[in-house]
Amino acid sequence: MRQIPITALTPGMVTAEDIVSYDHVTIVPKGIILTDNIISRLEGYSIYYAQIEDDLIVDLSTPMANSAILMQDAAIANLYSPDDPARDSTTNRQFQRFSQSFARCAEHYENNLMKSLYRGEPFRSNELLKETLALLYQDKQGVSVFDMLLNMHNAEDSVYNHCIDVALISNVLARWLNFSEADQMMATACGLFHDVGKFMLPTGVLRKPGKLTPDEFEIVKTHTTEGFHLLGRYSSIPEPVKNAALMHHEKCDGSGYPYGLSGDEIDKFSKIVTIADIFDAMTSERVYRAAMCPFSVIKYFEDDGIQKYEIRYILTFLENVSNSYLNHRVTLSNGMEGNVIFINPDNFSQPVIRTENNEIIDLQKSYYQSMLQLSNKKNISIEAII
C-alpha cells in the first residue's frame, strides 16, 4: 500500500483504503478500480491523497474490467441512499450556512456598489472578492458548489446573485484547468464583476418581466462596454477584470459581441467567464421560463458547437461538471427515477442511469438507437436533478 497524491492517480489503480471526505463520509470504498470519472470526482472534494494497492494496475480495455467498473459505479451510487437521514441532515446544515453567507455577500455587494456609484464612496472590490472566496472554503466537507447553486436558483435571482454564482463557477473551472492560485483568484474577480454594466442600463429594460424585443436586446448588449467603462473609473481594478466585463459575450469563432473578437483576441479569463455565465444563466429560473436541468445545458454546449469556446476550457468544464452530478438522483423524461452511475466520456450529457428497479439505462445508447431507427418514439433524457 502506498500513499499517492490525487494529482498523480491514473485509471486502473485500485484503492487500498476507503477514501473519505472531511466529514468522514466514504466517497470511494476500498478495492475500487479508479477511472477518469472517479478521479475527476475526487478532485472536486479537496482531497489530496489516496491509499493505493502496490503494483496493481487493472487493464481497463478488457471486457471483464468494463463489466466490473459498471458494477462498482452502481455500488458507489448506492453507498448513501438519497433518503439517508444522516446525509440529508448534513447537507441541509451545509446548505443553510452557504445560503446565509451567500445572501450577506450579495447584500454587501449591492450596498457597496450603490454607495460607490451614487455617493462617490470607495469601491471595496478586494473586500467583496475575499467575502466571495470565503464561500468556497467555509466548509471543508466536500459539498459541490454546483449542488449549492442549483438549490438556490429562483426567479428572484438578482444580478448580484448571478455575479457571485459566476465568480464561484469561474474559480472552480480555473482549478480544474490547473491555473495557479493567483490566476484562480483573478478568474473569480472577473466573474464577480463581469455584469456590473447592467446597472447602467434603463431599469425598465433590465427588469422587464418577459422576453426582450430586438431593440431592447440591443440596449442590453451595451452592458459590456458600459461595464468596461464603469470599472475603468477604479484604479484598483486589474485589466483582466475590465476585459471580462467587455468580452464575456465574445465567442472564439467570432460570433459574439460587442466586437466579434475571436481566438487569442479574447482574454483567457473572459473565456472562462463566458462558460460560467452561460451555465449559470441557463440553470437559473427566469420569469418567462423555468430553469434548465444541468444535463440539458451540457447538451446545449455540445450542440452549440464547441468551436465557439476555448476547446480545452469547454471540454474540461463539461467533463468535470457532469462528473459533479455522479451518484445524484434524477428524473427521466419517461417518468422513471434513478441514480447517475457513469458519465459517458464521448457524450457527457447522456450518462448511464440505474433506476429504482435496478434497470441500467445507457442514455447515450438510447439516443443513438432512436436516431438510427428514425422512430417517432421520444428519446429518453434527464428532466431534472432531484
Per-residue pLDDT tens for 106-120?
A: 999 999 999 998 898
**Exposed e or buried b for every residue in 281-299, given b needs 16+ CB within 10 A?**
bbbbebeeeebbbbbbbbb
Percent residues over pLDDT 90 in the chain: 46
Measured CA to CA, the distance from residue 327 to residue 159 in angstroms comes to 31
Per-residue pLDDT for 82 more than 80? no
Q: How confident is the model at residue 220 (pLDDT cuts 50, 70, 90)?
A: very high
Per-residue pLDDT for 84 more than 60? no
pLDDT of residue 129: 95
Per-residue pLDDT for 21 more than 70? no
Most trustworthy range by pLDDT among 37-46, 198-207, 271-280, 352-361: 271-280
Alpha helices, DSSP H, located in 120-250: 125-137, 145-152, 159-176, 181-192, 203-206, 214-221, 223-231, 239-247
Measured CA to CA, the distance from residue 170 to residue 300 in angstroms comes to 19
| Residues 335-368: tens digit of each pLDDT | 889 999 888 888 999 999 988 888 898 888 876 6
Per-residue pLDDT for 23 more than 50? yes
- Of 37, 15, 12, 35, the C-alpha closest to 321 is 37
Higher pLDDT, 7 or 149: 149
Alpha helices, DSSP H, located in 222-342: 223-231, 239-247, 268-282, 294-304, 311-323
What is the widest separation between alpha-carbon atoms in the chain?
69
pLDDT of residue 81: 47
Per-residue pLDDT for 151 more than 70? yes
Average pLDDT over the chain, rounded to whole?
84
Q: How many helices (H) and strands (E) does the chain have?
A: 15, 10
Q: Which residues neighbour 242 within 8 Å (Cβ) at sequence distance 6 or greater? A: 228, 231, 232
pLDDT of residue 304: 86
Per-residue pLDDT for 137 more than 80? no
- Of 305, 328, 330, the C-alpha closest to 315 is 305
Q: What angle do CA 213, 219, 223 make, to 5 degrees?
A: 130
pLDDT of residue 324: 86
Please identify which residue in the block is written with the cell numbers 449542488. Answer: 147
Per-residue pLDDT for 225 more than 90? yes
Higher pLDDT, 94 or 185: 185
pLDDT of residue 80: 47
Measured CA to CA, the distance from residue 249 to residue 238 in angstroms comes to 19
352-359, long-range: CB within 8 Å, 24+ apart, which pairs?
Answer: 352/70, 352/73, 353/382, 354/74, 354/77
Burial class (CB in 10 A: 0-12, 13-18, 19+), 128: buried
| Residues 230-275: tens digit of each pLDDT | 999 999 999 999 999 999 999 999 999 999 999 999 999 999 999 9
Instruction: Please check whether residue 108 is in contact with residue 124, taking contact to mean a CB–CB distance below 8 angstroms.
Output: no
pTM for the full predicted model: 0.77
Instruction: Return phi, psi of residue 48, to 5°.
Output: -110, -25
Take residue 271 and report the three cell numbers written for it. Answer: 473565456
Pairing outcome for strands 49-57 and 329-332: unpaired
Mean pLDDT, rounded, for 271-292 = 88
Q: How confident is the model at residue 75 (pLDDT cuts 50, 70, 90)?
A: low
**Exposed e or buried b for every residue in 170-194, given b needs 16+ CB within 10 A?**
bbbbbbbbebeeebbbbbbbbbbbb
Partner residues linked to 353 by β-bridges:
340, 361
Measured CA to CA, the distance from residue 164 to residue 160 in angstroms comes to 6
pLDDT of residue 35: 81
Per-residue pLDDT for 191 more than 90? yes
**Exposed e or buried b for every residue in 201-226, given b needs 16+ CB within 10 A?**
beeebbeeeeeeeeebeeebeebbbb
Most trustworthy range by pLDDT among 190-199, 300-309, 319-328: 190-199
Measured CA to CA, the distance from residue 267 to residue 26 in angstroms comes to 40
